[in-house]
Structure 1
Amino acid sequence: MDKFTTITGIAAPMPLVNIDTDMIIPKQFLKTIKRSGLGKNLFDEMRYTPEGEEIPDFVLNKPAYRAAQIIVAGDNFGCGSSREHAPWALLDFGIRCVISTSFADIFFNNCFKNGILPIRLPADQVEYLMADAEKGANARITVDLESQTVTASDGRSFPFEVDAFKRHCLLNGLDDIGLTMENAGAIDSFENRLAVTRPWA
């Protein structure tokens, strides 16, 4: 998993509330167990017509937001089913951070496990960042996980809270496997000792 320290990037404004996981990645794309390749189907039913043509008015189809790394969203982002494909699709598209007033718990935790930083902020601050994001590609937002701040393009900064353990994992690029491998030495020692004391095991 890639480390997350600081990103300065384009933020796509998505003021919709209750953006659920089926909107993020529709059910017909859940057949894969690979984490790559889902970005092209992110928000598929909102980005494309039934014939596969891009819908020009959708934010991620607009030239200013095609390289967005941040989404500023309405309340309750990631609600619905618990599919982990949702953060996979966001990450594969290039999204590293989602800012909202609230998230569904399972989606929120899945983001951290996949290298995405979900940030909860009060409604007035989200509204400010939403308006900033609507300025387009020249209005870049900076998210600094080390200092736990979000800075708008005009320099106004907002602090955010994040669980210390989840912060440690993102800063060091540690998913569940990475956390296990931090104890590789102790695991090897245990297995070597077990081979001697219980060779039948």
Structure 2
Amino acid sequence: MSEVKRCRWPGDDPLYCAYHDEEWGVPVYDSQALFEKLILDGFQAGLSWITILRRRESFLKAFDNFDPEKIAAYGETDIERLMNDPGIIRNRQKVLSTIKNARLYLDIEAEKEGGFSELLWSFTGGKPLYNAWEENSQVPAVTTESENMSKALKKMGFGFCGPTICYAFMQAVGMVNDHITSCFRHQEVMRF
């Protein structure tokens, strides 16, 4: 039996490998799913993705399955509840930003045709960008598209959405295919 060739970054951690093999790079168009991923990438700031991935179920529970309407209504009691939840990253700025981002998300969904999904996908022309990196070292941390997305989101008032966070987000939700060419997922995600 031959060994599966994948990107190096998940190492041999079973949770990380499953995330790489099943989710990372698959195009996501659902607005609420995109909101969830953007928030989780914001919580990752200063941390590794595996830290967030290991706590994802706790985040889902703590933040009402990332239902923007529920999060937008959070008050001081909810903030304190979240700040005392050991299952998530307890950073007040990130918690407050999540609440503000949920309110902004609702505004976009109500006002913009195509909603949050169309807004985010507009930075790649509405379709995935396919790269052909041979080594992980070739994959950039920031691109013009992620810089443009970051500027636009910040201008609207979103927090924790710098260009590096936006690029990690774009990779995760399939706006760009950054699986290296020798990875078995490189060709697979192009079929979605």
- TM-score under structure 1 length normalisation: 0.28
Structure with bigger RCO (C-alpha 8 Å, 6+ apart): 2
- TM-score under structure 2 length normalisation: 0.29
Structure with larger Rg: 1
